[in-house]
């Protein structure tokens, strides 16, 4: 029944072979399963995976720029085979070897984002997308360009609002649009915005008295909008008020017979509200009532000021009866004053004659009816007085008004005039003296008829080359001393001689008589004793030293003949005798004999000017015709020697 040992060994070998075959089959099966996935086809290593990325979320602005954070993920993945599993899908700017299905860009810039994929068979693929991101927002700031600021940030005039600044906060974007808009709110506080205007608006004028919110909007080239806000409070209206009498009793005439107390009935402001208020007759914001106690009409004011600083007033007139007073007697008070109207004052004393005048008035409509002034109190009817003598005198003014009231006034005058030296003691022959001889003849035509006088001309074929002339309205030529004797000073006119036409052929006594008539115009009654034409006989009898050196004298003859006019020259300094120049001449010179009491100080006084320049040793020919004004100039500069005079 039992197998032998060989049988047993055969059965064991057979079992071992069967087991080995089974193991081999299992191994082959496992290899197949691991490499081909059961029924799957073999790997095709030449295939590439494909993918596509897309923006999952983000705000796209202008020019393809995203203005917010951008999330990027796979739009699609194309596998080599639907049987091979995708084992990796990563999104990012680089391969981080971790599955990350999306990538978010938050910072400004241009980015390339990649998608990385791989399947179970080891196949790989990539895809990419470029995005421009600029999440920055433009900003702005508003400011007041024009407007008068009052109190508490309130403006009291129209306000102009504009942009102070606008910033893009971007490296590439630019501000393309900006405008200002008043904020409008609905009842639910929702802010309503108007449609964006076509044109840029950079300023806005606020005219309404209220609190106004101004929004500024700026939009950059990416289409991103930024905003800024300013609040403007404007109140240009004056506050108003009304007064009322709080207490007081009126009579039937509307007058208050006792103290009337006034206060404010209303005080209001439509915009910024009342800040201060007060009552009084002068501006104040402290007292709230005012008591009227005095008689007559008193105007009481109410003063109100709003929070913007605008001030307003109101008023009310309160009348209280005036007590009747007994009439007062009419009282007048006359007054008078003595005033100096002319005189030269020096160190408290007058150095010239002094003239005073009396002025006066009275009060209460009274009039001055009588007056007087003098060295004693009297109503002499005089209202002026002249003090001419040296010494001290007390002058008394006396007035009386229509009510019989009188008044006096006084003034003390001290006169100390200088006794000027006699002219005869101050001058010598040849000295120049300015003498006011009155007005010249206004006729300036060249004389053409015998016995006539005229103006300036050079020598003609009718004359012998003598220059003569009178031009101007006053006697402006100077005078020279011919002689000094017994206090009298004789002057000869030293300017250009006066033209006189005498026709020797006519031998006209009438023409010669006009010479004496003409001489009279040079006589000044204050200073001159006589005036005439210098005659030939005087020249012949006068001492040579009395004649002016080197000067031609045009003389009137004394006979009625052909030699009635002469021109002679004094030449004693040359050792020669008096020489003649012609037996007739075109010009003549007047001579004035001054009174013996004429005085001078050497300075301008009553028309006199005395110079210190004396021509006795002349080494040149003296030009004749120094003007009156030139003499004044010389007198003020006594060191000057005049070598050439001017007409």
At 459-502, the pLDDT tens digits run 443 333 444 554 433 434 467 788 888 888 888 877 667 777 76
Q: Is residue 364 part of a domain?
A: yes
Answer yes or no: do 603 and 546 share one domain: yes
Buried b (16+ CB within 10 A) or exposed e, 618-643: eeeebebbbbbebbeebbeeeeeebe
Do 292 and 428 lie in one domain? The reply is no
| Number of compact structural domains in the chain | 5
Domain boundary among 371, 386, 415: 415
Supply the pLDDT for residue 544: 63
Which range, 91-95, 167-171, 333-337, 635-639, is most confident?
333-337
Residues 631 and 517 reside in one and the same domain: yes
Q: Which helix (H) or strand (E) holds 310?
A: none
Is 348 a member of any domain? yes
pLDDT number for residue 436: 66
pLDDT, position 453: 72
449 vs 173 pLDDT, higher one: 173
CA terminus-to-terminus distance, the chain: 195
Residue 484 lies in a domain: yes
In whole angstroms, give the CA distance from residue 425 to residue 610.
Answer: 12
Q: Considering only 270-274, 309-313, 434-438, which range has the smallest mean pLDDT?
A: 434-438
Do 478 and 612 fall into the same domain? yes
> Residue 356: which CATH number?
2.60.40.10
Distance, CA of 235 to CA of 239 (rounded, Å): 10
User: Are residue 342 and residue 308 in the same domain, yes or no?
Assistant: no
Final residue in a domain of this structure, among 103, 133, 163? 133
Question: Residue 485's domain spans which residues?
Answer: 421-635
Of 476, 502, 491, 472, nearest in space to 588 by CA: 502
pLDDT higher than 80, residue 591 = yes
pLDDT digits (tens, 9 = 90+) for 258-303: 999 999 999 999 999 999 999 999 999 999 999 999 999 999 999 9
Percentage of the chain modeled with pLDDT above 90: 39
The answer, as to whether pTM is greater than 0.85, is no
Q: Are residues 505 and 591 in the same domain?
A: yes
Residues 458 and 580 in one domain: yes
**Least confident stretch, 152-161, 334-343, 426-435:** 426-435
Q: Report if residue 326 sits inside a domain.
A: no
Both 500 and 559 in one domain: the answer is yes
Token pair for 583: 């037996």
The enclosing H or E element of 31 equals helix 5-36
In a domain, 248, yes or no: yes
Minimal CA–CA distance to 338: which of 294, 286, 387, 276?
387
**Domain match, 251 and 342 both:** no
Of the ranges 133-147, 456-470, 481-495, 629-643, which is most confident? 133-147
Considering only CA atoms, give the Rg of the chain: 65
Mean pLDDT over 590-599 rounds to 84
Taking residues 409-425, report their average pLDDT: 82
Among 359, 383, 415, where does a domain finish? 415
Does some domain include residue 250?
yes
Choice among 104-113, 429-438, 468-477 with the minimum mean pLDDT: 468-477
In this structure, is residue 330 part of a structural domain? no
Question: In terms of domains, do 546 and 606 share one?
Answer: yes
Q: Is there a single domain that holds both residue 466 and residue 509?
A: yes
Q: Are residues 82 and 107 in the same domain?
A: yes
641 found inside a domain: no
Query: The CATH number of the domain where 311 resides is what?
Result: 2.60.40
């Amino acid at each position: 029944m039992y197998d032998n040992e060989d049988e047993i060994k055969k059965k064991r070998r057979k079992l071992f072979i069967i087991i080995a075959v089974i193991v081999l089959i299992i191994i082959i099966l496992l290899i197949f399963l691991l490499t081909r996935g059961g029924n799957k086809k073999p790997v095709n290593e030449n295939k590439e995976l494909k993918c596509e990325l897309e923006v999952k979320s983000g705000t796209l602005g202008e020019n393809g720029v995203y203005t917010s954070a951008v999330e990027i993920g796979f739009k699609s993945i194309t596998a080599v085979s639907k049987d091979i599993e995708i084992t990796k899908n990563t999104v990012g700017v680089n391969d981080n070897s971790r599955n990350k299905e999306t990538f978010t860009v938050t910072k400004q810039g241009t980015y390339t984002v990649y998608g990385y994929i791989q399947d179970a068979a080891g196949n790989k693929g990539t895809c990419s997308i470029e995005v421009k991101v600029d999440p920055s927002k433009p900003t702005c700031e508003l400011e007041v360009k024009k407007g008068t600021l009052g109190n508490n940030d309130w403006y009291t005039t129209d306000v102009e609002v504009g942009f102070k600044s606008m910033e893009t906060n971007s490296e590439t974007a630019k501000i393309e649009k900006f405008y200002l808009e008043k904020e409008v709110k609905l009842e639910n506080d929702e802010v309503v915005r108007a449609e964006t205007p076509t044109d840029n608006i950079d300023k806005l004028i606020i005219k309404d008295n209220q609190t106004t919110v101004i929004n500024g909007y700026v939009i950059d080239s990416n289409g991103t909008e930024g905003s800024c806000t300013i609040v403007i409070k404007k109140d240009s209206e004056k506050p108003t008020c009304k007064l009322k009498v709080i207490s007081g009793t009126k009579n039937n005439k509307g007058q208050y017979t006792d103290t009337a107390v006034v206060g404010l009935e209303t005080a209001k402001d439509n915009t910024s509200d009342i800040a201060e208020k007060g009552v009084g007759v002068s501006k104040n914001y402290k007292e709230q009532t005012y008591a009227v106690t005095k008689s007559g009409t008193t105007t009481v004011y109410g003063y109100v000021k709003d929070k913007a600083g605008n001030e307003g007033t109101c008023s009310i007139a309160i009348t209280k009866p005036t007590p009747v007073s007994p009439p007062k007697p009419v009282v007048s008070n006359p007054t008078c004053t003595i005033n100096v109207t002319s005189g030269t004052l020096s160190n408290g004393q007058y150095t010239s004659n002094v003239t005073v005048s009396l002025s006066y008035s009275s009060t209460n409509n009274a009039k001055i009816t009588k007056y007087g002034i003098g060295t004693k109190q009297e109503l002499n009817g005089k209202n002026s007085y002249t003090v001419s003598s040296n010494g001290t005198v007390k002058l008394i003014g006396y007035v009386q008004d229509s009510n019989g009231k009188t008044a006096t006034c006084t003034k003390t005058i001290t006169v100390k005039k200088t006794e000027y030296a006699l002219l005869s003691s101050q001058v010598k022959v040849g000295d120049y003296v300015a003498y006011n001889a009155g007005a010249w003849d206004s006729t300036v035509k060249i004389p053409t008829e015998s016995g006539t006088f005229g103006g300036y001309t050079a020598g003609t074929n009718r004359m012998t080359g003598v220059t003569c002339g009178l031009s101007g309205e006053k006697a402006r030529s100077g005078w020279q001393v011919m002689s000094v004797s017994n206090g009298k000073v004789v002057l000869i006119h030293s300017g250009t001689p006066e033209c006189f036409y005498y026709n020797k052929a006519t031998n006209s006594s009438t023409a010669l008589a006009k010479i004496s008539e003409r001489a009279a115009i040079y006589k000044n009654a204050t200073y001159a004793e006589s005036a005439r034409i210098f005659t030939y006989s005087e020249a012949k009898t006068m001492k040579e030293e009395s004649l002016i050196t080197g000067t031609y004298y045009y003389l009137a003859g004394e006979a009625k003949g052909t030699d009635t006019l002469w021109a002679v020259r004094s030449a004693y300094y040359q050792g020669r005798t008096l020489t003649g120049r012609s037996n007739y001449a075109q010009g003549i010179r007047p001579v004035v004999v001054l009174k013996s009491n004429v005085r001078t100080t050497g300075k301008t006084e009553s028309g006199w000017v005395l110079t210190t320049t004396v021509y006795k040793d002349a080494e040149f020919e003296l030009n004749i015709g120094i003007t009156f004004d030139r003499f004044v100039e010389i007198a003020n500069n006594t060191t000057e020697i005049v070598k050439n005079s001017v007409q």
